[in-house]
């Protein structure tokens, strides 16, 4: 490798419905190209794995070419390749891993298989040379909702709590569908909620009150959104039965009140986790971290708790290749070993497995 302190790394992300290719020089972001297949899934109301995999096949080489052109570098300039090896959709992951394996072998450079979830955390450290501190990370996306204790981003991540049913992003999409909003529902619900009253309906905050100390010890940092979804669905059903189709203002109030319930629980537990562990830093990452209310309330509560808050820019919250390249670069700087030739994917990989052999 030419430069272990500031390596030129190309990252490939293909875990779900977005083909991402990013290029970093050390921690400096040079390119971040994304080809989304969301429009192809919209008519199904959700991501179809086979459709996603085929879309990655069509998009990956053009995305690599665009990233190289944007960064003004050639393939032969690269020091390493990084790729999401899990978790994610099996077929989608295989497309990215196959491209990364081929590129690394053909160029004779190291390959780093990285964890998709850890990469969401790593993206915050692009374009900065700050020392990466131990932090509590609230990871919120369409497939995952977890509180992580991150002592060292490349090899020491531990789960303090996770969702016991739907992830926050899934809950957003399902309630958006009940409100007649198009797919993907999360951003649409966020926009609708800005015109509503977040205190209009007192929806439940699950797993925030414990009468049993054993439950508290086991579930204090866990999440559950199934009861909230049911409560919103019942509210909508009764409102329609009593008054007919929902008005725009009624839909906005439901969206705002639901969103407030989710965000309240997420941040209450994340702030408590930071206090419990004696850490000063809170990082929020994942697709739902782009939510406007989550970002605003996180700023308020972090300030009140004396925490230093970090949230990536909205464009780096959703799946992207920059985050994969960032984690690959950090792994190189930390002296981690690259993956073996013929890297395999693991669709069910746990976040504790930051790098793949």
Q: Render pLDDT for 291-331 as a digit per residue (tens, 0 to 9).
A: 999 999 999 999 999 999 999 999 999 999 999 999 999 99
Strands of the 28-36 sheet, one edge to the other: 28-36, 18-25, 8-13, 80-86, 111-115, 355-356
- The burial of 202, by beta-carbon neighbours within 10 Å (0-12 exposed, 13-18 middle, 19 or more buried), is given as exposed
Rounded CA-CA distance 50/204 in Å is 36
Task: Please state the domain count of the chain.
Answer: 2
Contacts 24+ apart (CB under 8 A), 54-57: 55/17, 55/19, 56/14, 56/19, 56/92, 56/95, 56/96, 57/95
Please check whether residues 147 and 278 belong to one and the same domain.
Answer: yes
CATH number, residue 179: 3.30.420.40
Predicted confidence band of residue 3 (pLDDT cuts 50, 70, 90):
low
pLDDT at 45: 74
In this predicted structure, the answer to whether residue 2 has a pLDDT above a threshold of 60 is: no
Q: Which residue has the higher pLDDT, 219 or 202?
A: 202
Asked whether the beta carbons of 20 and 10 are under 8 A apart, the reply is no
The encoded tokens of residue 280 equal: 């000063």
**Helix 248-277 and helix 226-243: axis angle, to 10°?**
160
Residue 83 to residue 88: CA distance in whole angstroms:
12
Tokens of 58: 């069509």
The tens digit of pLDDT for each residue in 65-114 reads 999 999 999 999 999 999 999 999 999 999 999 999 999 999 999 999 99
What are φ and ψ of residue 147, in 5° steps?
-110, 120
Q: CA-CA distance, 117 to 323, in Å (whole number)?
A: 10
List the domain range (segments joined by +) for residue 300: 135-314
pLDDT value at residue 41: 66
Q: What is the pLDDT of residue 129?
A: 82
37 with 141, same domain: the answer is no
Residues 202 and 275 reside in one and the same domain: yes
Asked if residue 219 and residue 122 are part of one domain, the reply reads no
Classify residue 1: in a domain, yes or no: no
Cα–Cα distance measured from residue 82 to residue 104, given in angstroms and rounded to the nearest whole number: 9
Question: Are residue 246 and residue 324 in the same domain, yes or no?
Answer: no
Model pLDDT, residue 143: 85
How are beta strands 145-152 and 156-162 bridged, if at all?
antiparallel
271 and 294 fall within a common domain: yes
């Amino acid at each position: 490798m030419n430069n272990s302190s500031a390596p030129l790394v190309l990252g490939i992300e293909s875990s779900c419905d977005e083909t991402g290719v990013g290029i970093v020089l050390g921690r400096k972001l040079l390119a971040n190209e994304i080809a989304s297949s969301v429009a192809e899934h919209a008519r199904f109301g959700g991501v179809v794995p086979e459709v996603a995999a085929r879309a990655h096949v069509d998009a990956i080489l053009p995305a690599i070419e665009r990233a190289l052109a944007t960064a003004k570098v050639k393939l032969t300039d690269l020091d390493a390749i990084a790729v999401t090896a899990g978790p994610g959709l099996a077929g989608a992951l295989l497309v990215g891993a196959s491209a990364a394996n081929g590129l690394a072998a053909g160029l004779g450079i190291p390959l780093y298989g990285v964890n998709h979830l850890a990469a969401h955390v790593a993206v915050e450290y692009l374009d900065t040379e700050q020392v990466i501190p131990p932090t509590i990370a609230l990871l919120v996306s369409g497939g995952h909702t977890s509180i992580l204790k991150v002592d060292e981003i490349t090899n020491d991540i531990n789960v303090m709590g996770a969702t016991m049913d739907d992830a926050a992003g899934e809950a957003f999409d399902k309630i958006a569908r009940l409100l007649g909003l198009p797919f993907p529902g999360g951003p649409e619900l966020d926009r609708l909620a800005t015109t509503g009253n977040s205190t209009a309906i007192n929806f439940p905050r699950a797993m925030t009150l414990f009468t049993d100390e054993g439950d508290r010890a086991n579930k204090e940092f866990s999440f559950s959104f199934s009861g909230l979804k049911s409560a919103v669905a019942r509210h909508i059903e009764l409102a329609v039965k009593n008054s007919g189709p929902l008005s725009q203002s009624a839909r906005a109030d439901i969206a705002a009140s639901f969103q407030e319930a989710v965000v309240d629980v997420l941040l209450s537990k994340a702030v408590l986790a930071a206090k419990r562990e004696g850490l000063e830093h809170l990082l929020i990452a994942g697709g739902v971290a782009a939510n406007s209310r989550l970002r605003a309330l996180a700023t308020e509560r972090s300030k009140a708790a004396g925490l230093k808050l970090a949230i990536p820019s909205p464009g780096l919250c959703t799946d992207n290749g920059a985050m994969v390249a960032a984690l690959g670069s950090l792994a190189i700087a930390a002296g981690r070993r690259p993956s073996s030739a013929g890297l395999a994917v693991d669709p069910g990989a746990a976040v504790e497995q930051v790098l793949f052999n």
